[in-house]
Amino acid sequence: MRRRSRGFVIGVALLPLAVGVSACSSSSAPKATEAPARASAQSADPDHDVWTGEDLSTLLLSVGDLPKGKRYKVQKGYPINSGTHFGGPFSKPVKARCDWLLSTTWSDASNVGVASYAGSYFANAAQDEYIEEIDSYRSTDAWTAMDHLKKYARSCSTFKDTDGSPIIVGATTKTLPGLGDDSLEVDMTSNVNTVEGTTTVVSRIGHDIIFSGCTDTRSQAIQTAEENARKLATTVKAKTGN
């Protein structure tokens, strides 16, 4: 699994990948009926009601929440979070690469800076991996970020991954109803292994965006990513009030 300075990745170069996009709402701005008091408070204080990274880490799934038969273990150095300090906006736009779809680096493809984050990374002896992340945003930034992420994912239907032996990755997006306010799933496979896959589910829950990614056989990767995304979304929604 590839790493990045802020978080972790959800792709293995030799595994096929999967990406899907689901949308319950496609608006880039919150509706007037969505938490007007919170929106008003955030306009006066951008950090109002934004959870710190330490607080977000309490919402992450644990080994006990993952499929029992897979024997996942938390990997060294995880969970991680942004602590008690809030991040700022991007200093300048970044040019997103399609191979970011193989990692949570692709959250940066939104070109919207997160206020805080938390994430964890699990793997087992068979080298199956599961990764999760919660990114919290200020004001209407989560709506903007989600719109940008959907456009980015849909623009990367085929790309080359050169981390190791070069492979061609095919990525498909699909809707995933009933999860969060606006969700997408990306399903990826490679030209060298069509049995294995990587699936990432991304969902906006109010002012937060969650990532749930798994590498495994294609069917198992999809099942694990979706099931755990729903668990994570339920917890985030219940605890944050989004």
- Per-residue model confidence as pLDDT tens digits over 62-77: 999 998 889 999 999 9
**70 against 103, higher pLDDT:** 70
| 44, pLDDT greater than 70 | no
**10 against 29, higher pLDDT:** 29
State the pLDDT at residue 5.
Answer: 31
State the pLDDT at residue 46.
Answer: 60
Q: Which has the minimum average pLDDT: 14-28, 69-83, 214-228?
A: 14-28
pTM of the model: 0.82
The answer to whether the CB of 65 falls within 8 A of the CB of 74 is no
The rounded distance, in Å, linking the Cα atoms of 207 and 49 is 10
Query: What is the three-class DSSP state of 101?
Result: helix
- DSSP designation for 188: E
**228 against 94, higher pLDDT:** 228
State the pLDDT at residue 9.
Answer: 32
Q: Tell which phi-psi region holds residue 110, choosing left (phi > 0), alpha (psi between -120 and 50) or beta.
A: alpha
Is residue 39 packed enough to be buried (19+ CB in 10 Å), middle (13-18) or exposed (0-12)?
Answer: middle
The rounded distance, in Å, linking the Cα atoms of 230 and 221 is 14
State the pLDDT at residue 164.
Answer: 80
| 42, pLDDT greater than 70 | no
Beta-carbon-side half-sphere exposure of residue 105 (alpha carbons within 13 Å): 17
The answer to whether the CB of 117 falls within 8 A of the CB of 213 is no
- Give the confidence band of 57 by pLDDT, cuts at 50, 70, 90: very high
User: How long is the chain?
Assistant: 242
pLDDT per residue over 169-224, tens digit each?
999 999 898 899 999 999 999 998 888 999 999 999 999 999 999 999 999 999 99
**45 against 226, higher pLDDT:** 226
- DSSP designation for 46: T
Beta-carbon-side half-sphere exposure of residue 89 (alpha carbons within 13 Å): 11
**Which DSSP helix (H) or strand (E) runs through 56?**
helix 53-57
- Give the confidence band of 83 by pLDDT, cuts at 50, 70, 90: very high
What are the C-alpha distances in Å from 85 to residues 65, 105, 116, 135? 28, 20, 8, 14
pLDDT per residue over 119-175, tens digit each?
999 999 999 999 999 999 999 999 999 999 999 999 999 999 888 888 999 999 998
State the pLDDT at residue 165.
Answer: 83
| 10, pLDDT greater than 60 | no
Out of 3.10.20.740, 3.30.428.10, 3.40.1000.70, 3.30.300.30, which CATH number does the structure's domain 18-27+35-83+96-240 have? 3.40.1000.70
The domain limits of the chain are: 18-27+35-83+96-240
